[in-house]
Structure 1
């Protein structure tokens, strides 16, 4: 792969070269007065790549892109690199120092969340999260007051009932994955090391009221791939069985039940919950890949991801799969108040469909979104909202209209590239008028590169 054609270094994936602060952006429409906080999204944005041919999107330095909303105004937009030691040196700044795990020095590039009063940039694979202040400047690496035993994870779940943080961490150096629970005091209170063979990539997990779901699938660490080709040392192992682990929340490693599933890979579950009418069944909706990284480390091989419903039957010891949609979708989200609970609605990014295939030119997982899909999982229906074919649509984050609002009563926020302006808009949709005109479009002064995950961080809970 020559640097000039590396898909991660061109088009909507191309990194931006400077940090920008802009105030009082122009807005089309009206920003709801109830929105008082920051929409922040993380993503790779490398500052200087020694070998563009070897660069992999997953390995880029993390950059946060945030918009501050208050009083019906878009007060500011900021983009800021996370200041790992290496990034601070490249920028000619003082190193912040702080704790490390296995000497890993990495600017987290995957997610951002708020927990125990702190805004945290997240990444998987063994590195620590970093704390950010309210203007997206880096405070430093965060180890939960010295209680974090290793790295954290790219995906965490805040239990809406207890406000505790749950995650499953993995690391290439560990012969196990680690279920972690952090209390509201910001300290790790529970750790379960679950032995697994082959050092699998476990990007995400699922949490229900009583169980933790572990996706032990055939994408594994390959030390022979380090330094060879794109800088991503995980590959598909066709000989490795695929299985789903079911761990009771208060159980130990010996209590995990491993259930066989067909070979596949899952980056992102939408949500999981216990069946109210049948305590022995768990339902999870997720985006499933048939296989991944089998022919190379730049994308999928075979079918694109589709939304499926898995029903876990603990009595029978099996998992039943049902395809919910045949369109390629990723980055599924729900109302955060419904996490671990039965939910009716879900939202996902549409990568392409038959009408749009000609507009999606990048191979594999480098596809950019062309629209958003809203699912009504009770009725078995969906709505599609398209955007410009040349644009890129990011993950849609649901923001409730208030603490007591109905499940679908609120807004969806996503970064959408506007090809007419050559820059990005923060698009705010009314969830109950999904295909109608956006409530507001905040016109950012720059392009936001294609990235990963974000969250709405309100000023007041």
Structure 2
């Protein structure tokens, strides 16, 4: 007797990443003349845009934060001391089909069931949900909503969805959610992991948005998940941790992602000039996000090394089973000639979502900013409730600790009339934990511990999300 056909999955059980400040919103709005407390700097002229998981309908089957969920862009336009808010879903074919049906059709990534032609038509039958819900960048005159290694979606001036982007047809498999735009060359450097050989590739998108054919990263023999990357003037830096895709295990009812600590973590230094990859071996650790990397001389022996600052996890929480673990600010000194890695924890503060002044990507930066978790009791276990700044030269940590906010990733908006790293503002979306109202905070880089010089009140709650950027008008 043949096995019964799989049935459509049921609702997702209670999940903390679908409640409280993470709870999704469904209304799309456009509101001008937002309420501003304090004074917006006159130099701010542009838009802060952020992306993040936001299921259009209640999920079915499973929900794996931060990978699952439909993309929603939140934009705050600032000019002449005034602010305007717009939010829009990234309208993939899956979102459009579910809107027609009035309910979720595609399950989460951890559920292998796929809808058939009788429910979604032959073009979408058997497909997985597209997830351009992680990041949003502007490059080559295009605003791109980015997924976890897939083709991004191009968005229009009103945040309308224009379609998928393959960079002139040169990058059909897509790119990662964290490409890096080199401020010296204007190139966008990206990687992509795949489920079939070559398991890892990298590519360069020119300043005009034209792609180059992806090149394989030699030495990768099975599919691994890699979320972020870094660049230096010489290298693409890829932290390949032992988080492997295992479809066979998923078909047996286990997790599709397997953390195999005994394998250890490897770091690939990929020469941007096309030279051979240099692999460096280490014990297992996980990196969700890098702050920055740069080429340097080792203070111990004067050899050429790469310095990587990042937020280090002992394992990939929350997608790996087990209790919550906390990440710390760390530095890795990577020796391409010796194939070694020397890691150190720079501070015991619990930090994530590291950012720098993007004008310094790939070079030594004086300051890194992070979302910080204090030891205050919280109503939700996974919120970040403060912002921290790390002086990379002195090691000093500066904090701004509000008493009632959940904060997001900080992004730097430079003063357009100055190249100094302390001439600008750190922007972050925040939500009050008592009443759920949200704001965009404008924090001066020259004195971040003093807190916001301006607070822009959002007309709706903005769910805690992932990544965003400041996009100046010129």
1:411 and 1:280 map into 2 onto residues whose CA distance is 34
Residue equivalent to 1:414? 428
SS in 2 for 1:435: helix
- Residues 327-364 of structure 1: CA distance to partner in whole angstroms, max 9, x if unpaired? 211000000000001111000000x233x1x21643xx
Residue equivalent to 1:187? 210
Contact 1:49 1:55 in 2 (8 A): no
How big is the shift at 1:215?
1.0
Would the alpha carbon gap of residues 440 and 431 (structure 1) be closer, same or farther in structure 2, given more than 3 Å must change?
Answer: same
Residue equivalent to 2:390? 375
Residue equivalent to 1:64? 73
Residue equivalent to 1:318? 340
Would the alpha carbon gap of residues 315 and 145 (structure 1) be closer, same or farther in structure 2, given more than 3 Å must change?
Answer: closer
TM norm structure 2? 0.87
Contact 1:266 1:287 in 2 (8 A): yes
Would the alpha carbon gap of residues 449 and 225 (structure 1) be closer, same or farther in structure 2, given more than 3 Å must change?
Answer: farther
SS in 2 for 1:89: helix
Q: How does 1:54-203 map to 2 (within 5 A)?
A: 54-57=62-65, 58-74=67-83, 76-92=84-100, 106-125=130-149, 127-189=150-212, 191-195=214-218, 196-203=220-227
**Greater mean deviation of Cα atoms: 112-121 or 147-156:** 147-156
SS in 1 for 2:446: helix
2:132 and 2:160 map into 1 onto residues whose CA distance is 13
Would the alpha carbon gap of residues 242 and 4 (structure 1) be closer, same or farther in structure 2, given more than 3 Å must change?
Answer: closer
Match of 1:329 among 351, 356, 362: 351
Residue equivalent to 2:45? 36
Residue equivalent to 1:429? 443
1:445 and 1:20 map into 2 onto residues whose CA distance is 9
How big is the shift at 1:31?
0.9
Are positions 1:220 and 2:244 aligned together? yes
**Greater mean deviation of Cα atoms: 323-332 or 298-307:** 298-307
2:327 and 2:347 map into 1 onto residues whose CA distance is 10
Question: Which sections of structure 1, spanning at least 5 residues, go unmatched?
Answer: 94-98
Q: CA RMSD in A?
A: 2.5
Are positions 1:20 and 2:29 aligned together? yes
- Residues 218-242 of structure 1: CA distance to partner in whole angstroms, max 9, x if unpaired? 1111214547889x73221234231
Contact 2:21 2:436 in 1 (8 A): no
Would the alpha carbon gap of residues 307 and 229 (structure 1) be closer, same or farther in structure 2, given more than 3 Å must change?
Answer: farther
How big is the shift at 1:50?
4.7
Q: Which has the larger radius of gyration?
A: 2
Runs of 4+ aligned residues of structure 1 deviating over 4 Å after TM superposition are 1-4, 102-105, 225-230, 276-279, 298-302
Match of 2:329 among 292, 307, 312: 307
Contact 1:108 1:130 in 2 (8 A): yes
SS in 2 for 1:325: strand
1:227 and 1:44 map into 2 onto residues whose CA distance is 26
Match of 2:269 among 246, 257, 262: 246
Contact 1:151 1:171 in 2 (8 A): no
Residue equivalent to 1:359? 378
2:384 and 2:174 map into 1 onto residues whose CA distance is 30
Residue equivalent to 1:394? 408
Residue equivalent to 1:207? 231
TM norm structure 1? 0.89
Q: How does 1:277-292 map to 2 (within 5 A)?
A: 278=302, 280-292=304-316
Residue equivalent to 2:278? 257
